[in-house]
Amino acid sequence: MLDCSKERGRLVTNEFLEVADLPGVWALGDCAAVPDPASGKSCPPTAQHAIRQGKVVAQNVVATINGGRRQRFEFRTIGGLASIGKRTAVARIMGVTFSGFVAWWLWRTIYLSKLPRFEKKVRVALDWFLDLLFSKDIVQFIDLNTRVGKPVMLEAAADKVPNSRAA
């Protein structure tokens, strides 16, 4: 464990994403409490922040090694999306709030655009397309423990099966 300041389990950083108590150590993403100059609080631990924090940390590490000028992390949240059920979501994008199928479609579109490879995007898009046409397959696996070749039921279930105590 690092011996440094933490805020709700996240490492406290300065505006350069350097851990407050440990010069030369950087933190980003959901493990870092990065100050947000606009709100005075910490930035939310979301992917849109982490992606941009990664670029700033990389530049600051190089700048520190080369004796250059470090860059402050400044980013304003674009918005938030959350899928809340079957083809339904909520969204707040640039201050505009909406919900329902349109928000769900937007959530899926943005998610798909962030996937790393074309092959992965095609696989996920195909899976989602099939999900629109067909219902989900429901499969049940039953694992019976055996004792001397005989199935053994769980105690809770044994009371519901007639003559289960006799075996």
Domain with CATH 3.50.50.60 in the chain: 6-66
Q: Check whether 153 has a pLDDT greater than 70.
A: no
DSSP H helix total and E strand total for the chain: 4, 8
Predicted confidence band at 156 (pLDDT cuts at 50, 70, 90)? low
Of the candidates 85, 137, 131, 122, the one whose C-alpha atom is nearest the C-alpha of residue 107 is 85
Q: Which residues pair with 80 in a beta bridge?
A: 92
Taking only the tens place, the pLDDT of each residue in 112-146 is 998 999 999 999 999 989 888 887 777 766 666 65
Superfamily of domain 6-66: FAD/NAD(P)-binding domain (3.50.50.60)
Distance CA 65, CA 86 (A): 50
Q: Is residue 81 within 8 Å of 107, Cβ to Cβ?
A: yes
Contacts of 164 (CB under 8 A, 6+ apart): 153, 158
Q: Tokens at residue 60, please?
A: 């600051």
Predicted confidence band at 148 (pLDDT cuts at 50, 70, 90)? low
Distance CA 16, CA 32 (A): 12
E-strand ranges in the chain read: 6-7, 10-12, 32-33, 79-85, 88-93, 96-100, 145-147, 150-152
